[in-house]
A and B are shown apart, each in its own frame.
Chain A
Amino acid sequence: MSEELFELEDVAYRYGRQPALEGITMRIEPGQRVALLGANGSGKSTLLRILDGLYVAGSGRVAFRGVVLNDRSLQDETFVFDFRRRVALLFQDPDIQLFNPTVFDEVAFGPLQLRWPHEAIRSRVENTLRLLEVQDLRNRAPHRLSGGEKKRVALASILVMDPEVLLLDEPTAALDPKTQTQFVDLLRSWGANKTVITATHDLHIVEDIADYCYVLRNGRILLHGKPAEVLSNNELLEEANLIHTYHHAHTHPEPHFHPHLHRHGK
């Protein structure tokens, strides 16, 4: 059994003729908290889908706990059942993820697919609804909720399965500052031994959610390292379109980088 959770070697993926990822090599260990940073269209979401086994790499090798994720393994029912129990993906657009008639049904969908005992499902769903503070929404239709509520329900729908690996695609996008803070605090407190891989271009949450970062640009890894190292490399962050140089003629004689904001008064 491999010690690495995910191993990627020279992975490439294309949408038709359009390359989305090229030469991606990375290793992710159990319990690691990783941030995939990049501007829109840099390949973060595609990479998450490859890690979730929704897309099969066009070339290169992707392995989960030593098992290569390819058409063959992803059609093996026993493997898929185990893989889905261990790995969960939060989609960027909660409207895509919410397709059941009520919030309760939505959260119960995953455990039902995993064929848990019914009593265990009911109790687990209730606990997760309470954890995400959406227990009052249990009988509401997901499409009628606000953006923040939808995001919470979408997160509840995957946390309920208690996955070993959580893949998050822009978890704080389109959330108000208070909900963003609650969301980040929740992710920080969720399971100490769990692996969390977050795709984001929101630099001010990186130090709170990750202990290692990969910066992507045009489908390639531009830079990787500890958050402090990565966030201090302004030139490369600007090259990756994650920060801008602002020219304020009146207040600053020289062009300067726009500072990223830190939470908790850092």
Chain B
Amino acid sequence: MTFEKTARRLVLTMENGFYDEELANTPGLLQQLDPRCKIVGFLGLTVAASWAHRAATLAALTVLAAVLIAGSRIPLRAIALRVWLPVLAVSGALVFPAIFLTPGDRLWTLPLLGWATTQQGVQAAVRLLWRVEAATTFSALLVLTTPWMHVLKGLRVLRIPIVAVVLLSMTYRYIFLLVRTAREMFEARESRRAGKFQRREARRIAAATAGVLLSKTMQLGEEVYFAMRSRGYQGEVYLLETFRMRSVDWAAAVVMLSAASAALWLG
């Protein structure tokens, strides 16, 4: 059951990722900055990475991301497991057909199937993956280096409507409940499994589990919302800390927005 082990490991990693704010509280370059400057700066960089076409621009943005990761003391393993690998798996599956379907110069042919890959197809797929990875890395840097409540509070300070912040807040809770429920269901099934499943049976169980997981998570999500409302939550985010923009925060915002503008201009 290699797939199950991998899936369980992934679920555990995601669970730790959602709960732990250790990285956000580690002393580092980005952790010291005001959340508002990070929100604005990373929004600009994410948009720039999504729009970038030239390899040189993408390379420059990647170098900037690498500098920020190193300066913020984020372990490469953490960002690879939480961001790069999941994004590669999902985006890779989506762009995979483009390698064969894009017309152009033939590179090689898959044995047995006879499908031909093209140079243009491979280039388009690599560039798209690179863009998605760069854009998600910038978004992840914001989330990994900022306590989640500070992100929400920062969004409210920047006049993002309360409905959007509540939706974001509940989506976050929903995802961590989904992950936790998935882990518990894995464990419950493992504790009752006596032998290997046939492939067809395994597929049937996986489909049924997905449905039950969704239903259970929705119910749990509603319960958590009740628990929040019961303690006075009405959508607004309140913190004990007060945000204060220092000159270093202004400088960081200018640097990030300048880099984003330059990337957008270069294309």
* A96 CB contact (under 8 Å) in B147, B149, B223, B232: B223
Give the CA-CA distance A123 to B104 in the complex, in Å: 69
Specify the chain B residue showing the minimal Cβ separation from A87: B230
* B240 CB contact (under 8 Å) in A84, A85, A114, A121: A121
Give the CA-CA distance A221 to B243 in the complex, in Å: 52
Residue B229 is within 8 A (CB to CB) of chain A in the complex: yes
Residue A175 is within 8 A (CB to CB) of chain B in the complex: no
Q: Is the CB of B226 within 8 A of A54?
A: yes
Question: What is the minimal beta-carbon distance from A87 to any residue of chain B, in angstroms?
Answer: 9
| Known pairs A108-B240, A115-B238; A157 contacts B148 (CB<8 A) | no
Residue A13 is within 8 A (CB to CB) of chain B in the complex: no
* Chain A interface, DSSP helix/strand/loop, else mixed: helix
* A101 CB contact (under 8 Å) in B21, B227, B232, B233: B21
| Known pairs A54-B229, A141-B19, A141-B20; A96 contacts B234 (CB<8 A) | no
Question: What is the minimal beta-carbon distance from A73 to any residue of chain B, in angstroms?
Answer: 14
| Known pairs A113-B232, A113-B238, A121-B240; A99 contacts B227 (CB<8 A) | yes
* A122 CB contact (under 8 Å) in B20, B234, B238, B240: B240
Interface string of B148-187 (1 = CB under 8 A from A): 1100000000000000000000000100000010000000
Interface string of B203-241 (1 = CB under 8 A from A): 000000000000000001001101111111110101110
| Known pairs A96-B220, A118-B240, A122-B240; A101 contacts B231 (CB<8 A) | no
Give the CA-CA distance A141 to B25 in the complex, in Å: 13
Q: Is the CB of B220 within 8 A of A143?
A: no
Specify the chain B residue showing the minimal Cβ separation from A80: B234
Q: Chain A: how many interface residues by the 8 Å CB criterion? A: 34
Question: What is the minimal beta-carbon distance from A49 to any residue of chain B, in angstroms?
Answer: 7
- B111-167, CB < 8 A from A: 147-149
Q: Is the CB of B230 within 8 A of A84?
A: yes
Q: Given the complex, which residues of A lie within 8 Å of B229, measured CB to CB?
A: 54
* A49 CB contact (under 8 Å) in B173, B220, B226: B226
* A112 CB contact (under 8 Å) in B147, B148, B223, B239: B239
| Known pairs A84-B230, A112-B240; A99 contacts B173 (CB<8 A) | yes
Best-buried of A77, A100, A113, A122 by chain B (most CB within 10 Å): A113
A sample of 20 inter-chain contacts (CB < 8 A) reads: A54-B226, A54-B229, A54-B230, A77-B234, A85-B232, A91-B226, A93-B223, A97-B227, A99-B224, A99-B227, A99-B228, A100-B149, A101-B147, A101-B148, A109-B231, A113-B232, A113-B238, A143-B180, A157-B231, A158-B231
Given A91-B223, A141-B19: 9 more A-B contacts, CB < 8 Å = A97-B227, A99-B227, A101-B148, A108-B240, A112-B239, A113-B234, A118-B240, A122-B240, A143-B19
